[in-house]
């Protein structure tokens, strides 16, 4: 019996390349079905690093490329001969370069896959079928049929518009295509050994070019190490691939069984080559299915990520009807040449290390040392595109565009985060001076955006972005261009100067795509591009950027009928207009979309539809609107809004009682989750799904509530239920199944349920008396640290709460100018450990009460930072801070009243040298104390009810305290979630 399914795109294989491709397609609205041969994700590492371009691609999937505890910037990569003489050295790999990310990131691949799988699980258009082995792929006109056998031997036939094989070196899709694999004359067997260890290695990565036994030792993510040993003459695969042989070689390399765990050993044949054809009609290959290369240049996985990005944006354009299918002819043309260069470089390096002849090795050493004399050393070259979808005659075409730091509307971020990742037209002059409205509309119809770049600190109209990182304007100037058109995979389509040249860029792109673009009825001029940007910014909630279009005296006339909810009346000036828009966004989650834009004289009329959702009621709907804009001097000076208030009124009022009732019972959801953590439900499922009765017996559930409890967890998406068995979901498997893992959020959830839940139940009493309701009203943290079990419980909770914060802090560029750092109130040291693990040049001190030391030592051992991070016991209310170049106060000031806050800032000042930096992390309250302050206000209430700390403070207040303590150059910026980072200099 064969079951049948239809989908838009089918992907065969769900390793990292298939995962990236599936996410990029699904988050663009594609319906994607993945067929994966294996029933579970592979639990061990294969790749160990990726480059900055790959990190940039990962960021477009919604996955943080720093990977939290599973990644860190790579240290130096050194090549030595058997005598320890340095032959090659790749340095500066940890530095953030033009792509906005470290040149190379060392990563633990299972952690990367966990993050990508979790991201995929969030996308409604993506379905993954595991345990399905593909046995046939056949094309028929405009469709492809993929046949697979399921876990029980059943057959499944999937019909799709496209099929992509991401199924690895032994690709079933490649076999079905019948395309030969063209070998490049490189084949060597190597024993791969992956170990877990807390050791520090110097250098971070090492190739030992010893003809007696070539070998490799490289980082494989925090706490993990990859060793590789080449098979030598006379040695059989069977002799080499045993635990005893692995340990014998590891011990020769300086490892010991007491300090390391052997996670796996396997023999791989390092090969080089690629498929002769990567596309046959609607069937395509990507990743290892299309190409293989030895690992010495670290480009295998990176090349697969580039395949995925190249395919995704082209398929999205085709499926949206904005490009012809012939566009995919450029996929093979672009990617095969690019991959060939990576293969050649990998083989070149492979021939250096894989030399078994002593005489030839000596000649190699002499040649490399001679080439090195007077040289700064090798560099990781960025390969350009040659041919394909590039503008003819443009010297810049094929360059990889920078992802520099820019600022707009008070927000500083990488270019991709501000401009998006569609087509981007970077200009050094206002875009409307280079392109007429029709061509600007063409760019918008392709999902593109024009971005005007101005010098940092210069005057501009608020719509432009400031070149804070000073990379984009030099890039434009370096190509003698006023405009550079960047493709969605970050490669330059072409560069131009002047209106004629820029118009030719857009016209050429349109012709190459064969695009059937949607053109709105318009007679646009100077205001239309600004108006389009306004609605895009408003729709995604970036109100600071949205109101930058308004002049200082601008007026917004909101239509009558909604006075009771303060959505009617007149708002004057950008600040009041922003407040009005913020109220509408908070109440209605409005996402306005212009349907038609018409311009005449100094007015722009926008006819559109707003998607709405009542924030209290949860009811969704739409409302048509008309906005009449008036411009003067390049800025909006007046907007008159017209829309019927009936639909809005219905959304605000409809069944509002249900919304309130929902708020009243939300605590039930948190208690279900907390109970699952306390009962050990998720660790009980770490080895796989269990029947209800067996799971209930393992965790001690009474029959009366067991099934209701487990089915509730499944209904909430916290457990996966199939055929009467219960298992973890990707999210609960990652964050709740292993108490020894990092990140583990069970400590936070358990602590909140055991401690905060009780004290918040007494909120009315706290509000009446102004007294803490926790720990008998004791002073902050005194009662916590008086009980070692409670203190350990608290440390586990804080480690879970700081997961995202750790990655955000570690990613700050300010650490490059720091040598030593002290973390005040360090708890278990996880936060500072993450920073030190990311920045190998740093040393640090964790300062906390002595009871925190045992948990601290466990955490730093796990991160491998014990040699650079020490613990200092003391009470920061009475003892001076350990001196350092930087002092970190993360979630510390909020716990105390103003007098103690001022005292702590004075102590920080005393601990710092001239030019030293204090870093403060807290959830701040806005001066308006409005919807944007909700998180800070709740934190303030929490300090009252549970800690006797607080209240929360504003940016203005902390700026004043810092100035009084003697600090200067105060800066406040967003950091992670609701947290703000405040920095100041002594």
Q: What is the tens place of the pLDDT at every residue in 83-93?
A: 999 999 999 99
Domain of 424 in residue numbering reads as 405-513
Question: Of 144-153, 520-529, 900-909, which gets the smallest average pLDDT?
Answer: 520-529
d(CA 615, CA 931): 12
Q: Are residues 574 and 675 in the same domain?
A: no
Q: Band of the pLDDT at 822, cuts 50, 70, 90?
A: very high
pLDDT of residue 521: 29
Q: How many CA atoms does the CB half-sphere of 400 hold within 13 Å?
A: 17
pLDDT of residue 423: 94
CATH number at residue 43: 3.50.50.60
Q: Are residues 33 and 140 in the same domain?
A: yes
Q: Using one digit for the tens of pLDDT, what is the confidence trace for 2-43? A: 899 999 999 999 999 999 999 999 998 899 999 999 999 988
The segment with the largest mean pLDDT, out of 148-152, 657-661, 794-798, 932-936, is: 148-152
CB-based contact 873:853 (threshold 8 Å): yes
Q: Band of the pLDDT at 376, cuts 50, 70, 90?
A: low
- With a pLDDT cut of 90, the percent of the chain lying above it is 53
Q: Band of the pLDDT at 730, cuts 50, 70, 90?
A: confident
pLDDT of residue 661: 55
Q: Dihedral of CA 892/896/901/905: which sign? A: negative
Q: Are residues 788 and 887 in the same domain?
A: yes
- Please determine, for residue 832, whether its predicted confidence score (pLDDT) is greater than 60: yes
Q: Is residue 904 part of a domain?
A: yes
Which helix or strand (DSSP H or E) is residue 432 part of? Answer: none
- Please determine, for residue 924, whether its predicted confidence score (pLDDT) is greater than 60: yes
Question: Of 389-393, 585-589, 632-636, 894-898, which gets the smallest average pLDDT?
Answer: 585-589
- Please determine, for residue 527, whether its predicted confidence score (pLDDT) is greater than 70: no
Q: Band of the pLDDT at 526, cuts 50, 70, 90?
A: very low
Structurally, how many domains does the chain consist of? 5
CB-based contact 946:916 (threshold 8 Å): no
The segment with the largest mean pLDDT, out of 12-26, 117-131, 671-685, 947-961, is: 12-26
Mean pLDDT to the nearest integer, 377-400: 84
Q: Are residues 699 and 600 in the same domain?
A: no
Using alpha carbons, list the distances in angstroms from residue 731 to 69, 333, 475: 16, 39, 41
CATH number at residue 621: 3.10.450.50
pLDDT of residue 655: 46
Q: Are residues 309 and 453 in the same domain?
A: no
Q: Nearest-CA neighbor of 442 among 540, 512, 539?
A: 512
Q: Is residue 214 part of a domain?
A: no
Q: Band of the pLDDT at 619, cuts 50, 70, 90?
A: low
Q: Are residues 315 and 174 in the same domain?
A: yes
d(CA 471, CA 99): 10
pLDDT of residue 617: 57
Q: Band of the pLDDT at 758, cuts 50, 70, 90?
A: low
CB-based contact 17:164 (threshold 8 Å): no
Cα three-residue angle 460-466-471, rounded to 5 degrees = 140
Q: Is residue 265 part of a domain?
A: no
pLDDT of residue 649: 56
306: exposed, middle or buried (Cβ count in 10 Å: 0-12, 13-18, 19+):
buried
300: exposed, middle or buried (Cβ count in 10 Å: 0-12, 13-18, 19+):
buried
Spatial strand order of the sheet with 291-292 comes to 86-90, 77-81, 205-209, 215-219, 224-230, 181-197, 260-275, 291-292
d(CA 424, CA 409): 19
CB-based contact 893:958 (threshold 8 Å): yes
- Please determine, for residue 518, whether its predicted confidence score (pLDDT) is greater than 50: no
Show which of 450, 480, 513 is a domain's final residue: 513
Phi/psi-derived region of residue 680, left when phi > 0, alpha when psi is between -120 and 50, beta in every other case: left
Mapping DSSP onto H, E and C, the string for 22-37 reads HHHHHCCCCCEEEEEC
- Please determine, for residue 171, whether its predicted confidence score (pLDDT) is greater than 60: yes
d(CA 909, CA 923): 22
Q: Is residue 75 part of a domain?
A: no
- Long-range (24+ apart) CB contacts under 8 A made by 602-611 are 602/527, 602/630, 602/631, 602/632, 603/628, 603/629, 603/630, 603/631, 604/524, 604/527, 604/528, 604/531, 604/628, 604/629, 604/631, 605/629, 606/531, 606/535, 608/535, 610/643
Structure letter (DSSP) for residue 491: B
d(CA 144, CA 875): 68
- What are the two backbone dihedrals, phi and then psi, of residue 109, each rounded to the nearest 5 degrees? -60, -40
375: exposed, middle or buried (Cβ count in 10 Å: 0-12, 13-18, 19+):
exposed
Q: Nearest-CA neighbor of 77 among 91, 63, 64, 58?
A: 91
Q: Is residue 238 part of a domain?
A: no
**Which residues are 260's β-sheet partners?**
197
239: exposed, middle or buried (Cβ count in 10 Å: 0-12, 13-18, 19+):
exposed
Residue 703 structure tokens: 């029959």
Please state the separation of Cα 454 from the chain's center in Å. Answer: 27
Q: Are residues 835 and 950 in the same domain?
A: yes
User: Which tops the pLDDT comparison, 175 or 738?
Assistant: 175
List of E strands, 580-728: 591-600, 603-613, 620-632, 635-642, 690-691, 719-722, 725-728
- Please determine, for residue 780, whether its predicted confidence score (pLDDT) is greater than 60: no
d(CA 278, CA 652): 54
User: Which tops the pLDDT comparison, 657 or 227?
Assistant: 227
3-state DSSP assignment of residue 299 = coil
Residue 6 structure tokens: 């239809």
d(CA 677, CA 475): 52
Q: Band of the pLDDT at 585, cuts 50, 70, 90?
A: confident
What is the separation, in whole angstroms, between the first and last Cα of the chain? 75
Q: Each residue of 688-712: b (16+ CB within 10 Å) or e?
A: ebbebeebbeebebeeeebeebbeb
- With a pLDDT cut of 70, the percent of the chain lying above it is 86
User: Which tops the pLDDT comparison, 110 or 596?
Assistant: 110
d(CA 319, CA 327): 11
Q: Are residues 729 and 823 in the same domain?
A: no
d(CA 115, CA 730): 9
CB-based contact 23:116 (threshold 8 Å): yes
Show which of 461, 483, 513 is a domain's final residue: 513
Q: Nearest-CA neighbor of 712 among 752, 675, 660, 663?
A: 675
Q: Is residue 282 part of a domain?
A: yes
- Please determine, for residue 377, whether its predicted confidence score (pLDDT) is greater than 90: no
- The DSSP string of 522-590 is ----HHHHHHHHHHHHHHTT-HHHHGGGEEEEEEEEEPSS-GGGT-SEEEEHHHHHHHHHHHHHHHH--
CATH number at residue 714: 1.10.10.10
CATH number at residue 478: 3.40.30.120
User: Which tops the pLDDT comparison, 702 or 592?
Assistant: 702
Q: Are residues 606 and 668 in the same domain?
A: no
Question: Of 234-238, 499-503, 536-540, 856-860, which gets the smallest average pLDDT?
Answer: 536-540
Q: Is residue 78 part of a domain?
A: no
Show which of 606, 631, 654 is a domain's final residue: 654
Q: Are residues 7 and 130 in the same domain?
A: yes
How many CB atoms lie under 10 A from the CB of residue 609?
A: 15
Which helix or strand (DSSP H or E) is residue 372 part of? Answer: helix 358-372
Q: Dihedral of CA 459/464/468/470: which sign? A: negative
pLDDT of residue 656: 46
pLDDT of residue 800: 56
d(CA 845, CA 556): 53
Using alpha carbons, list the distances in angstroms from residue 793 to 65, 613, 745, 781, 804: 30, 39, 12, 12, 20
Cα three-residue angle 704-705-709, rounded to 5 degrees = 160
- pTM recorded for the entire structure: 0.58
How many CB atoms lie under 10 A from the CB of residue 320?
A: 17
Average confidence score pLDDT of the chain: 86
**Which residues are 196's β-sheet partners?**
224, 261
Q: Are residues 674 and 810 in the same domain?
A: no
Q: Is residue 827 part of a domain?
A: yes
- The DSSP string of 869-928 is EEEEE--TTTSPPPP-SEEEEES-GGGS-HHHHHHHHHHHHHHSPTT-EEEEEE----TT
d(CA 288, CA 70): 23
Question: Of 248-252, 295-299, 474-478, 729-733, which gets the smallest average pLDDT?
Answer: 729-733
Q: Are residues 690 and 648 in the same domain?
A: no
pLDDT of residue 519: 35
- Please determine, for residue 856, whether its predicted confidence score (pLDDT) is greater than 90: no
CATH number at residue 833: 3.40.50.150
d(CA 980, CA 385): 40
Q: Nearest-CA neighbor of 129 among 3, 313, 25, 45?
A: 3
- Please determine, for residue 742, whether its predicted confidence score (pLDDT) is greater than 70: no
Q: Each residue of 796-828: b (16+ CB within 10 Å) or e?
A: bbbbbbbbebbbbbbbbeebeebebbbbbbbbb
pLDDT of residue 918: 96
């Amino acid at each position: 019996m064969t079951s049948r399914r239809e989908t838009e795109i089918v992907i065969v294989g769900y390793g990292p390349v298939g995962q990236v491709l599936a996410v990029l397609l699904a988050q663009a609205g594609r319906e994607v079905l993945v067929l994966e041969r294996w029933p579970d994700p592979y639990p061990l590492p294969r790749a160990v690093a990726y480059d900055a371009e790959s990190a940039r691609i990962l960021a477009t999937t919604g996955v943080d490329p720093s990977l939290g505890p599973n990644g860190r910037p790579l240290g130096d990569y050194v090549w030595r001969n058997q005598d320890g003489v340095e032959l090659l050295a790749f340095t500066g790999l940890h530095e953030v370069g033009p792509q906005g990310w470290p040149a190379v990131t060392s990563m633990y691949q299972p952690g990367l896959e966990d993050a990508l799988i979790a991201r995929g699980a969030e996308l409604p258009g993506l379905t993954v079928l595991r345990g399905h082995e593909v046995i046939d792929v056949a094309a028929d006109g405009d469709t492809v049929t993929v046949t697979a056998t399921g876990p029980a031997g059943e057959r499944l036939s999937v019909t799709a518009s496209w099929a992509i094989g991401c199924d690895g070196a032994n690709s079933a899709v490649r076999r079905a295509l019948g395309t030969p694999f063209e070998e490049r004359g490189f084949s060597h067997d190597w024993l791969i050994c992956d170990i877990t260890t807390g050791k520090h290695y110097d250098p971070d990565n090492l190739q030992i070019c010893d003809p007696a036994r070539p070998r490799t030792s490289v980082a494989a993510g925090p706490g993990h190490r990859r060793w590789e040993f080449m098979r030598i003459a006379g040695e059989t695969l069977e002799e080499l691939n045993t635990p005893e042989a692995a340990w014998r070689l590891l011990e020769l390399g300086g490892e010991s069984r007491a300090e390391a765990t052997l996670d796996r050993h396997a023999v791989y044949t390092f090969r080089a080559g690629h498929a002769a054809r990567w596309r046959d009609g609607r069937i395509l290959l990507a990743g290892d299915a299309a190409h293989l290369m030895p690992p010495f240049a670290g480009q295998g996985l990176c090349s697969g990520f580039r395949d995925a990005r190249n395919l995704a944006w082209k398929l999205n354009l085709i499926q949206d009807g904005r490009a012809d299918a012939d566009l995919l002819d450029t996929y093979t043309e672009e990617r095969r040449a690019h991959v060939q260069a990576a293969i050649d470089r990998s083989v070149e390096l492979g021939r250096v290390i894989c030399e078994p002849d002593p005489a030839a090795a000596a000649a190699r050493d002499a040649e490399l040392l001679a080439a090195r004399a007077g040289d700064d050393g090798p560099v990781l070259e960025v390969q350009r595109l040659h041919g394909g979808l590039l503008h003819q005659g443009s010297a810049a075409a094929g360059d990889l565009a920078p992802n520099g730091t820019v600022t707009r509307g008070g927000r500083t971020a990488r270019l991709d985060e501000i401009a998006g990742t569609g087509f981007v037209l970077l200009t050094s002059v206002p875009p409307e001076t280079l392109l007429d409205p029709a061509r600007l509309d063409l760019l918008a119809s392709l999902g593109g955006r024009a971005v005007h770049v101005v010098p940092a600190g210069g005057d501009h109209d608020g719509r432009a972005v400031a070149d804070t990182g000073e990379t984009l304007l030099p890039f434009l100037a370096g190509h003698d261009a006023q405009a550079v058109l960047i493709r969605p995979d970050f490669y330059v389509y072409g560069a131009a100067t002047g209106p004629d040249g820029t118009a030719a860029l857009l016209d050429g792109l349109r012709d190459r795509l064969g695009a059937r673009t949607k053109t709105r009825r318009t007679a646009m001029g100077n205001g239309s591009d600004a108006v389009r940007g306004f609605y895009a910014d408003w729709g995604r909630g970036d109100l600071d950027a949205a109101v930058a279009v308004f002049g200082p005296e601008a007026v917004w006339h909101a239509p009558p009928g909604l006075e009771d909810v303060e959505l009617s009346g007149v708002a004057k000036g950008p600040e009041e207009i922003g407040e009005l828009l913020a109220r509408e966004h908070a109440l209605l989650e409005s996402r306005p979309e212009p349907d038609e834009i018409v311009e005449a004289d100094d007015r722009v009329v926008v006819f559109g539809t707003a998607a709405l959702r009542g924030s209290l009621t949860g009811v969704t709907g739409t409302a048509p609107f008309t906005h009449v804009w008036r411009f003067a001097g390049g800025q909006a000076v007046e907007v008159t809004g017209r829309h019927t208030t009936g639909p809005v009124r219905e959304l605000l009022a409809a069944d509002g009682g249900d919304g309130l009732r929902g708020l009243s019972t939300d605590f039930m959801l948190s208690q279900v989750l907390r109970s699952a953590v306390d009962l050990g439900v998720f660790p009980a499922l770490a080895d796989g799904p269990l029947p209800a009765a067996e799971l209930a017996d393992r965790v001690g559930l009474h029959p009366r509530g067991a099934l209701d409890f487990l089915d509730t967890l499944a209904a909430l998406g916290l457990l996966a239920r199939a055929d009467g068995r219960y298992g973890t979901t990707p999210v609960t498997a990652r964050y709740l199944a292993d108490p020894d893992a990092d990140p583990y959020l069970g400590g936070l959830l358990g602590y909140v349920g055991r401690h905060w839940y009780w004290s918040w139940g007494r909120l009315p009493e706290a509000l009446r008396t102004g007294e803490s309701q926790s720990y008998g009203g004791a002073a902050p943290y005194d009662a916590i640290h008086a009980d070692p079990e409670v203190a350990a419980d608290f440390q586990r909770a804080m480690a879970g709460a700081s997961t995202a914060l750790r990655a955000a802090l570690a990613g700050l560029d300010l650490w490059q100018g720091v040598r030593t750092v002290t973390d005040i109130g360090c708890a278990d040291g996880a936060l500072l450990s993450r920073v030190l693990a990311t920045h190998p040049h740093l040393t640090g001190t964790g300062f906390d009460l002595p009871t925190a030391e045992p948990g601290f030592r466990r955490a730093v051992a796990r991160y491998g930072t014990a040699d650079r991070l020490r613990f200092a016991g003391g009470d920061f209310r009475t003892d001076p801070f350990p001196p350092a170049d930087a002092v970190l106060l993360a979630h510390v000031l909020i716990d105390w009243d103003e007098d103690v806050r001022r005292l702590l800032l004075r102590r920080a000042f005393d601990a710092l040298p001239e030019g030293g930096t204090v870093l403060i992390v807290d959830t701040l309250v806005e001066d308006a104390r409005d919807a944007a302050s909700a998180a800070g206000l709740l934190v303030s209430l929490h300090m009252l009810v549970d800690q006797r700390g607080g209240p929360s403070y504003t940016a203005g207040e902390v700026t004043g305290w810092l100035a009084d303590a003697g600090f200067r150059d105060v800066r406040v910026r967003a950091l992670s979630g609701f947290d703000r980072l405040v920095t100041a200099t002594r």
